[in-house]
Amino acid sequence: MRLSEQIPLGKRIPNIPHAVSVSLPTMADVIGYEERDPEILAKMNSGYPRFVKHEWLREIESYWETFFDKPGEPVWLTSSEKIAQQLKEHLDVPGIKFQKHQGVSGLRIPADEQLNRKAKLFLQHVGGYLCSRQAEDYLVANGLKSHIKPEALFQDDAKTKILESLRPLFNAENRDDIVLSNCGMNAIYTAFQAVNEIQELKGRKSWIKLGWLYTDTMSILDKLSHKDSDNQKLYNVFDTEKLEELLASRPNEFAGIVTETPTNPLIQSMDLDRIRELATKYGVYLILDPTINSPANVDVSPYADIIVNSLTKYASSEGDVIMGAICATAQCPERDAITEKIRAIVEPPYERNLKRLAQQIDGYLPLIESINASAIKIVEHLETHPKVSKVYWSKEARSKINYARIARTPESIGGMISFVLNIDLATFYDRLLLAKGPSFGMTQSLACPFMYLAHYDLISTESGRAYLDQAGIDPKLIRFSIGAEPVEEIIEALDYALA
């Protein structure tokens, strides 16, 4: 993309069939999308796969309207028969019918708006949608598409290629210690469920959310925990005293602690040495997600019981594969039992997704090296810019010492930053001539008004904004994923938007 261009609303980023991001070039587009404006939605033929149904899934749904009985009732296509049955149990209403054809599973459910929203959110939270590549293969097999669009695929053992690439990043003794999932959220859901199955037998049914977690991670903990759970949230990741007080007050109740390191979107790193001590002392599992800066930049293996990671970011540098990974570390309690449960619960990746990721994973470390070199220059530029009031990054004052403990090298800055402006958000965002949409960790830089996209329900109410203020998050924050473009071009585009 030339810096003089805007990518039109609803176009894929990058412009390939399985792209995971979508262009939202103006704040009016962002707000229209969140408020379900029909004119905006009509142009949204793509989107992040867990939030927007790919057009090929919709084509299968239309085909099943004629192929199966009860036309007119909504169909939800799932990644497997297992997930379809879990969705059926989650909805727990009469009139739901399981359907399967040529390896594709789904549920036909009554045309009730609230019920269908509940179905959508469950599949979104746990990563349970049919993937676009399997949908494409199904359409071709049934004569509904003429051919599969050519793409570069790894021709040898794709799974082994991926696992061998990841093994040193997870500090895994053997590649089989790492379990691949169909997306990053399914990795988190799988780890959560595996720990529950171990800990509930001990009467431990509650969880601690440490820091402001990604929206679907919070939803998994809030909606899918045991009915007797009493989950707690601690937004200040630096307040280990409060964490200790909470654990000490309920020493036999918590199953685990979940946190991102660094966090999203404030890029904060906590004192993992102390948190690890507390997790061990009070018998809770520590699940760490290093996706924001990637396991190529940070090593959390000495601290985590379980590492979860979205390979959609950085590993899939071309931005067209969703996949995740889970690894129970060497110090994980009951490691063999946990790993066995992980393998039983996980939704494995589709074979063509494996081949596509394996084809591009050699670009993972070079991308990290490139964005690390650019990140420090961009941070230094923004921190001195008069129209930027705050920059969040890995070596910010409160995080610097903690981040140094997990950073692989002094140069491991990471490609994610966030910043707050002292000018109008829409003016900056609309003028920015870089790709704008969800996701991160691609060769293309990506900007997004993160809280608008992830938490519009909070942005749009006074009580929600007060809630964000308590968490220390400015609703007008811009999350910026640095890509592989020449750093001078990135800075030029930022300066143009800030002018």
Domain locations in the chain as residue ranges? 12-26+363-498, 55-130, 161-362
Q: Taking a C-beta distance cutoff of 8 angstroms, is the pair 199, 365 a contact?
A: no
Which residue numbers in the chain have pLDDT < 50? 1
CA-CA distance, 75 to 77, in Å (whole number)?
6
Tokens of 462: 């006074």
Q: What is the pLDDT of residue 123?
A: 97
Q: What is the pLDDT of residue 1?
A: 44
CATH 3.30.430.20 fits 161-362, yes or no: no
Q: What is the pLDDT of residue 70?
A: 64
Sole residue written with tokens 């959508």: 120
Query: What does CATH list as the number for 12-26+363-498?
Result: 3.90.1150.10
- Rounded to two decimals, the pTM is 0.96
Dmax (CA) of the chain: 64
Phi, psi at 399, each rounded to 5°: -100, -15
Which phi-psi region, left, alpha or beta, contains residue 9 (left: φ > 0; alpha: ψ -120 to 50)?
Answer: beta
Q: What is the pLDDT of residue 4?
A: 56
Q: What is the pLDDT of residue 71?
A: 67
Query: What is the DSSP code string of 333-367?
Result: TTHHHHHHHHHHH--PPPHHHHHHHHHHGGGHHHH
Q: What is the pLDDT of residue 496?
A: 96
Handedness of CA 218, 219, 222, 224 (dihedral sign): negative
Q: What is the pLDDT of residue 3?
A: 54
Query: What does CATH list as the number for 55-130?
Result: 3.30.70
Strand 206-210 with 254-260, pairing? parallel
